[in-house]
């Protein structure tokens, strides 16, 4: 068992090293960094699916919340926005909270049959009161220098702090969503989470006062040095020359990526250690017992719904951390780039390929699938070039096929998922 694990991991390592030698080290470390982030996302999904059998297809939303946290923690605050609209924003928040409290209190006070009516009756004035403050406030914020800011900005804190905070934000959202949708049948849960993730993306996309929306936030501060500074730093130039590297700009790129990789490996190691501890503890056994036979576990006195909520929140938190890390690596938040095929279903392929219920498998799946996702592009264009080679020069069909070769990656991912489900449903590294 451990031998196969070691074999798979060393093979993966060799492949990455080969990329370093044959393509470039910049490419190799670029792939490695995203492999590490993907592995963390896969760990999060594996907690929900592998430990507990929860079919969550809203990963994209939790990842995006993590990315939003990176913006809100690390970007510099826009003072002017707070000055012109801070008061009104606070008042709208107050009215929202007041409405919620009033509804909760009223629900207790009135008899059961009247409850829905009372809720609606309180909701309508509450909504208009909140919007009365909220609408003008956001308009004023978005009017401030829209080409550069036009949003509230963040807190201006170190970006590393955003990683745990991203986890917390995603966990909070996960708790709220889990309260509503867990306890539904499995396919209902899938549909509900799919919808929630789309709504989270819509909010990030259209609430410009919060996240600049489709105007994107760029220049999220880095936790590691910038290439332009490195190239001019004396210690780096002498360091590079001592290694016998002549091209310093290339070396600076690799150095920055290695810094990121070390940070990511540290996070992955911590999460992995915790996940393995949890899986092997009585808690982990209980989760698997619930997954394998819910009724029996309930009969033994296990609170199935509470356990599901717990593991759902934990998985969401891990995805949130990964999302914050991804935004840090990219240095930007681009809401339009969040599409479910890439951020939800691809992660699912990772977990299924790696081995549901096995953390080492999930991590391996994250590595393999991300590698293939990236390398499918050159592979696809190679295949298409071979296919179109016999066609006449300048044929429209040939050009069209070569242009479409990027999408070979979808085909490849689908084929992998279908083949694994059919012939190796336990994945590369099966659950013990």
The nearer residue to another protein, 300 or 415, going by C-beta atoms, is: 415
Work out which of 7, 13, 404, 432 binds another protein, going by CB under 8 A.
404
The nearer residue to another protein, 382 or 407, going by C-beta atoms, is: 407
- Tell me the torsion sign for CA atoms 44, 48, 50, 56: negative
What is the distance between the alpha carbons of residues 256 and 279, in angstroms, rounded to a whole number? 34
What is the distance between the alpha carbons of residues 264 and 43, in angstroms, rounded to a whole number? 14
* Minimum distance, C-beta of residue 343 to another protein, in the bound complex (Å): 12
The nearer residue to another protein, 129 or 401, going by C-beta atoms, is: 401
Point out which span in 239-247, 284-292, 321-329, 416-424 binds another protein (CB under 8 A).
Answer: 416-424
* Minimum distance, C-beta of residue 93 to another protein, in the bound complex (Å): 19
Point out which span in 85-93, 216-224, 251-259, 395-403 binds another protein (CB under 8 A).
Answer: 395-403
- Residue 194: count other Cβ atoms within 10 Å of its Cβ: 17
- Residue 385: count other Cβ atoms within 10 Å of its Cβ: 13
What is the distance between the alpha carbons of residues 250 and 233, in angstroms, rounded to a whole number? 14
Tokens 């290439």 appear where?
227
Tokens 């990121």 appear where?
260
User: For residue 267, which of 414, 374, 126, 166 has the smallest C-alpha distance?
Assistant: 166
The nearer residue to another protein, 11 or 176, going by C-beta atoms, is: 176
Instruction: Tell which positions 340-359 bind another protein, by CB under 8 A.
Output: 340-341, 345, 348-349, 352
- Under rule CB under 8 A, residue 130 binds another protein: no
- Under rule CB under 8 A, residue 387 binds another protein: no
Size of the site for another protein (CB under 8 A): 47
* Minimum distance, C-beta of residue 265 to another protein, in the bound complex (Å): 30
* Minimum distance, C-beta of residue 342 to another protein, in the bound complex (Å): 11
Point out which span in 181-189, 222-230, 262-270, 302-310 binds another protein (CB under 8 A).
Answer: 181-189
Note whether 318 and 37 are within 8 A (CB).
no
Q: Rg of the Cα trace of the chain?
A: 24
* Minimum distance, C-beta of residue 115 to another protein, in the bound complex (Å): 12
- Tell me the torsion sign for CA atoms 293, 172, 341, 12: negative
Note whether 391 and 80 are within 8 A (CB).
no
What is the distance between the alpha carbons of residues 129 and 196, in angstroms, rounded to a whole number? 26
* Minimum distance, C-beta of residue 173 to another protein, in the bound complex (Å): 14
- Under rule CB under 8 A, residue 418 binds another protein: yes
Residue 218 belongs to what H/E stretch? strand 217-218
- Under rule CB under 8 A, residue 175 binds another protein: no
Please report, as ranges, the residues that interact with another protein according to CB under 8 A. Answer: 53, 55, 57, 135, 180-181, 184, 186-188, 190-192, 194-196, 198-199, 202, 205-206, 339-341, 345, 348-349, 352, 400-401, 403-405, 407-415, 417-418, 421-422, 425
């Amino acid at each position: 068992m451990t031998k196969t694990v070691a074999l798979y991991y060393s093979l993966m390592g060799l492949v990455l090293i080969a990329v370093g030698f044959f393509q470039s080290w910049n490419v190799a470390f670029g792939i490695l960094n995203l492999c590490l982030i993907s592995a963390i996302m896969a760990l999060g999904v594996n907690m929900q699916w592998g430990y507990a059998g929860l079919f969550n297809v809203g990963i994209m939303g939790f990842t995006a919340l993590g990315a939003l946290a990176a913006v809100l923690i690390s970007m510099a605050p826009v003072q002017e926005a707070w000055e012109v609209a801070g008061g009104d924003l606070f008042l709208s928040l107050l009215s929202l909270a007041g409405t919620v409290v009033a509804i909760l209190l009223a629900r207790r006070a009135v008899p059961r049959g009247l409850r829905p009516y009372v809720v609606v009756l309180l909701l309508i004035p509450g909504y208009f009161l909140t919007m009365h403050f909220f609408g003008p406030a956001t308009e004023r914020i978005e009017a401030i220098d829209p080409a550069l800011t036009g949003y509230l900005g963040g807190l201006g804190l170190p970006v590393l702090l955003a990683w745990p905070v991203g986890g917390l934000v995603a966990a909070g959202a996960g708790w709220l969503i889990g309260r509503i949708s867990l306890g539904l049948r499995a396919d209902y849960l899938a549909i509900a989470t799919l919808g929630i993730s789309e709504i989270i993306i819509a909010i990030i996309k259209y609430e410009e006062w919060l996240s600049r929306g489709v105007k994107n936030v760029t220049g999220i501060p880095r936790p590691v040095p910038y290439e332009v500074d490195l190239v001019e730093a004396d210690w780096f130039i002498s360091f590079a020359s001592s290694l016998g590297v002549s091209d310093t700009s290339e070396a600076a790129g690799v150095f920055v990526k290695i810094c990121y990789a070390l940070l990511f490996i540290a996070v992955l190691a911590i999460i992995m250690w915790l996940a393995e501890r949890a899986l092997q503890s009585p808690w982990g056994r209980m989760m698997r017992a619930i997954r394998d036979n819910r009724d029996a576990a309930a009969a033994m006195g296990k609170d199935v719904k509470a356990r599901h909520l717990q593991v759902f929140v934990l998985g969401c938190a891990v995805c949130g951390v990964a999302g914050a890390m991804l935004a840090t690596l990219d240095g930007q938040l681009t809401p339009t780039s969040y599409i479910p095929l890439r951020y939800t279903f691809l992660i699912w392929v990772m977990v299924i390929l790696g081995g549901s219920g096995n953390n080492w498998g999930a991590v391996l799946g994250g590595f393999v699938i991300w590698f293939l996702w990236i390398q499918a592009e050159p592979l696809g264009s190679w295949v298409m070039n071979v296919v179109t080679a016999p066609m006449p020069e300048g044929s429209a069909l040939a050009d069209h096929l070569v242009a479409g070769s990027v999408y070979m990656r979808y085909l490849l991912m689908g084929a992998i998922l279908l083949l694994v489900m059919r012939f190796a449903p336990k994945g590369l590294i099966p659950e013990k």
